[in-house]
Amino acid sequence: MITIDGHHLTLESIVAVVRHGEQVQLAAEARERLVQSHAWVRQMLAAGKPVYGINTGFGIFANRRISAGQAAQLSRNLILSHAVGTGAPLPAEVVRAAMLIRANTLAIGHSGVRPVLVETLLAMLNRGVTPEIPSQGSMGSSGDLAPLAHMGLVLTTDAADRAENSGWATYRGQRMRGKEAMQAAGIPRVVLGAKEGLAVTNGATFSAALLALATYDAAHWLDIAEIALSMSLEALLGASNAFDERVHRARRHPGQMAVAARVRELTRGSTLVDAGGRVQDAYSLRTAPQVQGAARDAWAFVADVIEREINAVTDNPLIFGPAEAISGGNFHGEPIAMAADFLGIAMSEVASISERRIFRLTDSNLNYGLPSMLVDTPAAAGLNSGLMMPQYTAASLVLENQTLASPDSARSLPTSGEQEDHNANAMTAARHTRDVIANTAHVLAIEAYTAARALDLRLRLMPEARMGCGTAEAHRRLREAVPYTPGDAWWAPEIARTREVLAFPEFAAAVLECPPQPDNPATR
């Protein structure tokens, strides 16, 4: 059971809940803060002083007063009028992550909502009610207004309680109206009070959910990038001097030093490295620590940003006491947007340099004695195309990444009659970054698949050679899942299977441990 208190949510706990079904509960101290904060909102309503979003309209209508008796209708109207998203539904894991993050930020106790609002979100997570949320339509600045409002359609209700106003949700694999899903799960929907509609929809929460999952996944694929690099380095008889610790310590970047150290460890014991007798290699090998290391440093920055964001108050106004409702801009998604763009650029570069190694592995003018396109034998060239087309696919994905990695945070349009005159475009940035990471994962799978075949052919030419500790383990595990095919075959399913193997955390863990494999002839 994971307990949320507004301050200690992690990427790992998000993944545990949204991918592995871990149950979640509200901390007792957080519940007490919610009770106190809501009491302050009631005092403000009784005092009659205008407070944005409590007894006023929203956005351009912030100067319009709303009576205390209309506070509940004001909240429900906000949900109904703002649920105007479009596009394909977001993946369930993204929606669940957003629900958890929203619950966590409300639990901090500066939003003025009742505990029942947070507890209902947690009940939906625990019982498997997942709202259907369109993926497009958020500016990522006044919060992810449209996506959060679509979530609110399922979460909340009013006196009329019309099913057609309850949105859509999935429960036990079935798509149904939100009202029906909540009834089937035995979860009462919430009739909103003052400030609660605004609290549900404020904050770039879906942007944060997308980036949180992307950041978690990127860490894994950065590990895989170093494994694929090491396999390519050995297959191409690369020079080890570019990975010398002294070289990287002299430049001082931690990511660069970490990548070089990882490659040294993975190739430990290899007789293929340096067998080419070259002074230096092409950039795709020689400067890989500088490129992939920069991506690691970018990841560390983004991870820090997103861990702060998922434990941040992103509402407006914030409630600090019975007469202290302070309007600000914590809902603005710029920190997420910039971080997402940065991670997208970094992972795009990881794919880019990986594709250059794939090209080098398949070109007989560049791969130091291996057959063109890695056909089984030179005599088979022509009848067989070898791995010509997988490199095409990698190149296509890299080109797509180069477009997707163009920064979305640099683009803005005004909304709400110029009241909201600068927007972050955060959710678009986070969606694009998620796509970049998926593309990068496939490019890395192609590199690992290509490098494994190149190593098979290299060891045929050099039967006395041996692979390094980690590369031998990676090769062995890949060959267990995808045996070597001499002639042309339908490569796509084999590459897809390679990607599945690489995606398992157990694969990276086993390879990075560098266990000896005495039964593998390549390590004798």
Q: Which residues are catalytic?
A: 52
| Whole-angstrom Cα Rg for the chain | 27
Treating both helix axes as pointing N-terminal to C-terminal, what angle do 145-155 and 178-185 enclose, rounded to 10 degrees? 50
164-170 contacts, C-beta under 8 A, 24 or more apart: 165/80, 167/83, 167/131, 167/132, 168/131, 168/132, 169/129, 169/130, 169/131, 169/132, 170/92, 170/129, 170/130, 170/132
Three-class HEC string of 270-337:
CCCCCCCCCCCCCHHHHCHHHHHHHHHHHHHHHHHHHHHHCCCCCCCCEEEECCEEECCCCCCCHHHH
Distance (Å, whole) CA 200 – CA 316: 11
Count other Cβ atoms within 10 Å, centred on residue 164.
7
Distance (Å, whole) CA 464 – CA 96: 53
Do 226 and 357 contact (CB within 8 A), yes or no? Answer: no
Do 156 and 192 contact (CB within 8 A), yes or no? Answer: yes
Q: Which two tokens stand for residue 71?
A: 């506070």
Q: Cα–Cα distances in Å, from 211 out to 76, 137, 338, 340, 436?
A: 29, 17, 11, 6, 12
Distance (Å, whole) CA 154 – CA 179: 6
Nearest-5° Cα angle at 21, 18 to 23: 105
Do 253 and 294 contact (CB within 8 A), yes or no? Answer: yes
Distance (Å, whole) CA 306 – CA 312: 10
The β-bridge relationship of strands 190-191 and 156-157 is: parallel
Alpha-carbon torsion (227, 233, 239, 242), positive or negative: negative
Determine the 3-state secondary structure of 19 from DSSP. helix
Q: Which two tokens stand for residue 356?
A: 């250059």
Treating both helix axes as pointing N-terminal to C-terminal, what angle do 115-127 and 92-107 enclose, rounded to 10 degrees? 150
Reported residue count of the chain is 524
Would you call the peptide bond into 317 cis, given omega within 30 degrees of 0 as the criterion? yes
